[in-house]
């Protein structure tokens, strides 16, 4: 899966997919949780401010009933003697209160019906006669100056002691009708979300990621590592050479999978071994009477007949050798060797007069089985000369691979038939004569050898005419 600009969003490996899904799920869950926490913090701050406003209004009304002081008048507190005269200080108002003939109406107010009902019930139980109580959350900038300025002055005074304290943007507005018909309007500022709360959420998110992702990464690695080794081992099945059983690692399910693979590979290896023994016996049993036949035809007096019979026997022996070679490729006993590919290709090209090798190319060293690789290259070059008169050979490098390119000047191959040319006993030349074509196993053997080296053989029609064969294998 790719996003904008061709950047891959969905990783390919199991390990990365597990971590990505877990991290995404944690991020979404923590985002939802943070939204709930912030909303809860905001609602709690609104509820606290509402309680303060209602309590302040109730105190003002009780004071009016007790002393006759009008609602909204300033509070006085703390008598102090200073320089022989009695002075009284005014308490900074925590809630601004004003009286009016009408309630304060703000269009974009968020009416809090639940808080309004609870305030009505609280005042009723306190014996305070107020009607039409409405509590709403409004923007501070939309409050009337009589309710806004005292609050902001109080908040600014507090910021002198704490300059980093943020200014509030919301306020709780209470409107209620007094028994004399007047409306009391009170406002209190809602405490804003502190930076400490946001920092706590970020710290919580980081801690959660560390607590979950590190153990998950270890578990995912414990699963993915043996699976990766198993994948590499599976890719080696069927290639030339023996492979050692894979050590069971990881969780029990993965261990059972590895044990099942080892058992399956053991059975397949035993079957291949039995097949090789059987083919060896068949080859021996067939070659023995063919050799006897070869001796007997020497007594044939007609030279032409004797040569035809000898050619037929030689053809049968060659076909038999090709079949045995193809059948035994998966169990080759030849070891890998570090070989100069250029020198190997040049030695094969020198065997054919119609073959040329561009020795000016790059020098490539690779680990291969040289005898098998020469066999594959001979088949490719031989086909190029047989059907295309010449074979121009060159070496190129691809990511992690080496390519041997063989071009000819023949008629090419029908694109629909290219893949079928690798099937056993398939020939572009329809006659069965060895003079005009081989046994039909050359390309099959070449592809089997290159695939045993982790590569392949590809046939392409050239735009300038002729056929191109690309023999690739891992470095």
Report the pLDDT averaged over residues 124-142. 89
* pLDDT for res 377: 92
Q: What is the pLDDT of residues 184-223, one digit of tens each?
A: 999 988 888 755 566 777 888 888 888 888 888 888 888 8
Report the pLDDT averaged over residues 378-386. 90
* pLDDT for res 430: 52
pTM score above 0.85: no
Q: Between the CA of residue 44 and those of 167, 248, 328, what are the distances in Å?
A: 18, 56, 80
**Whether residue 100 has pLDDT greater than 70:** yes
Q: What is the pLDDT of residues 213-263, one digit of tens each?
A: 888 888 888 888 888 888 888 877 765 556 778 888 888 888 888 889 888
Report the pLDDT averaged over residues 432-438. 49
| Complete DSSP assignment for 276-327 | HHHHHHHHHHHHHHHHHHHHHGGG-S-HHHHHHHHHHHHHHHHHHHHHHHHH
Region at 5 (left for phi over 0; alpha for psi -120 to 50; beta for the rest)? left
**Whether residue 79 has pLDDT greater than 60:** no
Q: Domains of the chain: which residue ranges?
A: 14-73+92-197, 243-333, 335-474
* pLDDT for res 60: 87
**Whether residue 87 has pLDDT greater than 50:** no
Query: Among 228, 249, 161, 222, which residue's Cα sits nearest to residue 12?
Result: 228
* pLDDT for res 194: 58
Q: What is the pLDDT of residues 3-12, one digit of tens each?
A: 545 566 777 7
Q: What is the pLDDT of residues 258-284, one digit of tens each?
A: 889 888 888 887 887 777 777 777 777
* Domain 243-333, architecture per CATH: Orthogonal Bundle (1.10)
Region at 241 (left for phi over 0; alpha for psi -120 to 50; beta for the rest)? left
Computed over every residue of the chain, the mean pLDDT equals: 81
Handedness of CA 57, 59, 65, 70 (dihedral sign): negative
- Is 335-474 CATH 3.30.565.10? yes
* pLDDT for res 77: 40
């Amino acid at each position: 899966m790719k996003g904008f600009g061709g950047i891959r969003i969905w990783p390919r490996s199991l390990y990365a997919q597990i971590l990505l899904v877990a991290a995404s799920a944690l991020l979404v869950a923590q985002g939802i949780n943070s939204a709930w926490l912030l909303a809860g913090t905001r609602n709690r701050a609104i509820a606290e401010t509402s309680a303060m406003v209602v309590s302040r209004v109730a105190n003002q009304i009780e004071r009016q009933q007790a002393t006759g002081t009008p609602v909204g008048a300033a509070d006085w507190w703390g008598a102090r003697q200073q320089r022989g005269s009695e002075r009284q200080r005014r308490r900074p108002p925590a809630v601004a209160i004003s009286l009016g003939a009408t309630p304060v109406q703000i269009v974009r107010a968020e009416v809090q019906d639940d808080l309004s009902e609870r305030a009505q019930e609280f005042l009723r139980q306190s014996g305070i006669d107020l009607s039409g109580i409405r509590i709403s959350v409004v923007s501070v900038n939309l409050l009337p100056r009589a309710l806004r300025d005292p609050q902001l002055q109080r908040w600014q005074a507090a910021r002198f002691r704490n300059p980093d304290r943020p200014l509030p943007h919301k306020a709780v507005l209470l409107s209620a009708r007094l028994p004399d018909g007047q409306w009391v309007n009170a406002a209190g500022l809602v405490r804003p979300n502190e930076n400490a709360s946001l920092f706590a959420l970020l710290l919580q998110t980081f801690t959660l990621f560390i607590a979950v992702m590190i153990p998950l990464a270890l578990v995912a690695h414990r699963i993915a590592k043996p699976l990766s080794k198993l994948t590499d081992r599976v890719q080696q099945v069927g290639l030339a050479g023996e492979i050692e059983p894979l050590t069971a690692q990881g969780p029990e399910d993965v261990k059972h999978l590895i044990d099942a693979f080892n058992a399956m590979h053991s059975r397949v290896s035993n079957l291949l071994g039995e097949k090789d023994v059987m083919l060896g016996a068949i080859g021996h049993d067939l070659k023995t009477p063919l050799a006897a036949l070869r001796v007997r035809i020497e007594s044939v007096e007609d030279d032409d007949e004797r040569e035809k019979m000898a050619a037929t026997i030689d053809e049968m022996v060659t076909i038999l050798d090709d079949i045995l070679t193809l059948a035994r490729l998966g169990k080759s006993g030849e070891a890998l060797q570090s070989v100069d590919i250029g020198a190997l290709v040049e030695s094969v090209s020198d065997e054919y007069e119609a073959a040329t090798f561009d020795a000016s190319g790059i020098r490539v060293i690779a680990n291969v089985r040289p005898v098998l690789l020469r066999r594959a290259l001979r088949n490719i070059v031989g086909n190029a000369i047989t059907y295309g008169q010449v074979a121009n050979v060159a070496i190129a490098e691809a990511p992690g691979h080496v390519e041997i390119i063989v071009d000819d000047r023949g008629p090419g191959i029908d694109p629909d038939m290219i893949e079928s040319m690798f099937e056993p006993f398939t020939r572009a030349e329809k006659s069965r004569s060895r003079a005009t074509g081989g046994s039909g196993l050359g390309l099959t053997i070449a592809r089997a050898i290159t695939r045993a080296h982790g590569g392949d053989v590809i046939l392409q029609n050239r735009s300038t005419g002729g056929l191109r064969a690309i023999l690739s294998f891992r470095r």
